[in-house]
Chain A
Amino acid sequence: MLAANRLAPALESLPRVFALSDLKQLLPGEEDQALDVALRWLEAGVIKQVAPPRPVFFKVILGEELDEVDRCRALLRAFPSLVMVAGSVLWRQGLSAQRDTLLECCVSEKELSCNLPGVALRWRPPAWWVAVRQAGGIAGDHHGVAMLTPEMALADAAAFRDVWMPDRDAVDWNQLSTARLSEATQQLLPLRDEGASRTV
């Protein structure tokens, strides 16, 4: 009880999104205790793991949903190299008239469960990151989360077929470059089989 009281202010002093290492810094020299405290908070439901088993958490506050900035921050802390894909990219870059219901991002980890509301994680093979870089397939970021170029987002959706895309009529095709789309498709072509075998 004494220990619980002593640690009670710790949750308030942590940001909405935090990692186990942040908690350890609040309890220097008591790493095991940090683990116990995190478990107690998880059991009480006052925090959740962003993407189990990654050691990154967000505070659950009733009536206060995580906003887009916090969601992106949480995703970045759990997966520093994640990339936004598909219809999520097209909507945020103003190329789609239809909005995504789930923020879709790609990671190379096999474990894809995510406790963040409104977020879906998709798997891509490690070679995908090389292909994307070689094709110049990143166009800026959204609150720090790297976004594919629209052409690369289309090529990726066609190659892996595991993401949501808006209807054809809802996409502004005039803003897309055929040459870049062709290049992006070529880069992702060798990965298509790997993606297919994973989804089967």
Chain B
Amino acid sequence: MASQSETDRWRQQELALTAVEHRLQALGEYLAVYRASYASSGEGRHYARVRMLRQDIGRLRAWWWYLHATRRGASWLPLLHRLVDLLAMFVSPVRRGGRRRHSSGMLRHLTSHSLIERAYAALEEDMQGQLLTVRLAQYQRPTDSRSREISLLQHQLEEVAALRRCGLPEPRRLTAICHILYRVMTVRQWLGLQLPLANQVDR
């Protein structure tokens, strides 16, 4: 029984890492294209957008680092959790006035919780798209192997949906974790130390 729950936890961590890695890859590519397309225009709103995307990428990388560390049982996790317990009460998971809005337009700054939740939701939607593709093919030309693929995809989809619904810590704790690790990563970068890197395109 214990081993089953251990396997489930392992599987959930794997899905979470996959979701964050996919999102990092997508945001990294988008940032590269956006910077090349608009950043040279010199308009303030484009710089603001680039800054915001970089912050989102930074927070996602911090969360990736946390997930990765949890998976391999890093020795510094208890210390981080104690720090999070202390700081979480001072952290506002929702920015003042809801989401912070940039003065120059429709730019919206996502909370860390929303950012991570979106990454999980994006993976869920990708899988739903995949399921639709296979189910349509099965409708047109039914095969046994496709039927098994559908069952597998449906099971994976349930896992991702469960991850999005209940696989995230309380918003204050998640925000504290992302902020602390983001700052640690910034300091490590200043000191020229190697950064924990998820697969990503650009910074």
Question: Which A residues fall within an 8 A CB radius of B?
Answer: 19-21, 35, 38-39, 42-43, 49, 52-56, 80-81, 83, 108, 126-127, 129-130, 132-133, 136-138, 140-141, 146
A35–B154 Cα distance when bound, in Å, is: 12
A121–B125 Cα distance when bound, in Å, is: 21
User: How many residue pairs bridge A and B at CB < 8 Å?
Assistant: 82
Say yes or no: B36 contacts A43, CB within 8 Å: no
Chain B interface helix/strand/loop/mixed: helix
Known: A129-B33, A130-B32. Is A80-B26 also a contact (CB below 8 A)? yes
Tell me whether B114 is interfacial, beta carbon within 8 Å.
Answer: no
Contacts of A127 in B (CB 8 A): 201
Q: Choose one: B33, B35, B129; the contact of A53 (CB below 8 Å).
A: B129
Chain A interface helix/strand/loop/mixed: mixed
Say yes or no: B25 contacts A52, CB within 8 Å: no
Closest to A50 in B: B129
Residue from the set A43, A54, A132, A138 with the largest chain B CB neighbour count within 10 Å: A138
Question: Which B residues fall within an 8 A CB radius of A?
Answer: 25-26, 28-30, 32-33, 35-37, 40, 125-126, 128-136, 139, 199, 201-202
Closest to A38 in B: B132
A130–B132 Cα distance when bound, in Å, is: 33
Contacts of B134 in A (CB 8 A): 53
A64–B125 Cα distance when bound, in Å, is: 28
Q: 9 new A-B pairs (CB below 8 Å) besides A39-B132, A56-B129?
A: A49-B136, A53-B134, A55-B128, A55-B132, A80-B26, A130-B202, A132-B36, A138-B33, A140-B37
A81–B22 Cα distance when bound, in Å, is: 13
Closest to A51 in B: B129
Closest 7 CB pairs of A and B: A55-B129, A81-B29, A138-B36, A53-B130, A129-B32, A52-B133, A53-B133
Closest Cβ of chain B to A37, distance in Å, is 11
Say yes or no: B201 contacts A54, CB within 8 Å: no
Can you pick out 6 interface pairs between chain A and chain B where the beta carbons lie within 8 Å of each other?
A20-B128, A42-B132, A49-B129, A126-B199, A133-B35, A141-B37
Contacts of B129 in A (CB 8 A): 20, 49, 52-56
Contacts of A53 in B (CB 8 A): 126, 129-130, 132-134
Known: A126-B201, A133-B35, A138-B33. Is A20-B125 also a contact (CB below 8 A)? yes
Say yes or no: A35 contacts B40, CB within 8 Å: no
Say yes or no: A133 contacts B32, CB within 8 Å: yes
Contacts of A83 in B (CB 8 A): 33
Known: A21-B125, A129-B33, A136-B40. Is A49-B132 also a contact (CB below 8 A)? yes
Closest Cβ of chain A to B127, distance in Å, is 8
Contacts of A137 in B (CB 8 A): 36
Contacts of B133 in A (CB 8 A): 49, 52-53
Closest Cβ of chain B to A12, distance in Å, is 20
Contacts of B125 in A (CB 8 A): 19-21, 55
Say yes or no: B30 contacts A133, CB within 8 Å: no
A52–B133 Cα distance when bound, in Å, is: 6
Closest to A140 in B: B37
Contacts of B136 in A (CB 8 A): 39, 42-43, 49
Say yes or no: A81 contacts B26, CB within 8 Å: yes
Say yes or no: B36 contacts A35, CB within 8 Å: no
Closest to A147 in B: B37
Closest Cβ of chain A to B103, distance in Å, is 24
Say yes or no: B135 contacts A130, CB within 8 Å: no
Say yes or no: B202 contacts A129, CB within 8 Å: yes
A54–B134 Cα distance when bound, in Å, is: 12
Closest Cβ of chain A to B94, distance in Å, is 21
Contacts of B30 in A (CB 8 A): 80-81
